[in-house]
Structure 1
């Protein structure tokens, strides 16, 4: 299972084994349902108990696999490897990762959008217990697919943390040093009012292939 996960994530370089403790970050979590899925959607706060130094001692992470669970009791063994992101996933991080650190709505929306781009699930099929989170996900996906607003490219290096029996995690490290991003000028406001328009535009883009 571990070898398959490494191949899927597109790893490069030598792997580094670490012992991590995982917990919900700032309460940025909600229960959600989708076809074939029922469970938690959250942004995770990770503490590395293995002395490795910044930026790997503590960090925020998102889930790579929709159907795997996160164990919030005790520590877990993980292997740290580089993640070769697709252009869409990299753009999602460059455009919206900083917003995902500011509220539960943005965090959950970001996770749903990430799962969608990774082929784990369709963001339009999720019902969450957090008003606005689904609309935020659709807005992010529409901007990745159709957005023309300028943004800083390549802001983050993505690091995957692979577990043999628990949820694999994805960490963003600020290019040039530091995990905490600069504030982004784009504000996720009014998403509920225009979510249907964004979803329609995104479906048209996908239909065109």
Structure 2
């Protein structure tokens, strides 16, 4: 976006392509890690995707580790990988356009390198943190959850929204969500969370 704002469309398109390939490699590696963790902690997104429980996965998934490392190095702009050339072109153009923009670009590039190596080190280095197997992930910080429902809200919704009735068969006929007049009860906490964002007149409270 910085390159587009400065009018360097070729550099922006070049970085879009290199960034996409690097991120695709990282997402493939992330999927492999999640599936590997599920064999240890079971099917639980809160645990299988929690880096606190990971560590020392190099000996368990060496191919994934190498692929993830390549994606990390590329995304951080390490030569001679692809993202180095696109980032270098954007940084060079930003210095010519405005030193302020160049400082911003260098700062964001440094933040990218920081969080990517943090992900890599927490996941593949050290030891598998089995002593955190009872880790709940609960926190009192309201800014921790970035989802609409939060960590507790997802459990409430699972218990109160009975959307599985859409898949049940009654007398060999599939029940319809739109035509069947059914009133679903929603927890008052969920209602308060929903009110600023969406109104669902079909559901009763």
Indicate the TM-score class for this superposition, using the shorter chain for normalisation: under 0.3
For normalisation by structure 2, the TM-score amounts to 0.22
Q: Which has the larger radius of gyration?
A: 2
Q: Which structure carries more relative contact order (alpha carbon 8 Å, separation 6+)? A: 1
More helix by share: 2
More strand by share: 1
For normalisation by structure 1, the TM-score amounts to 0.21
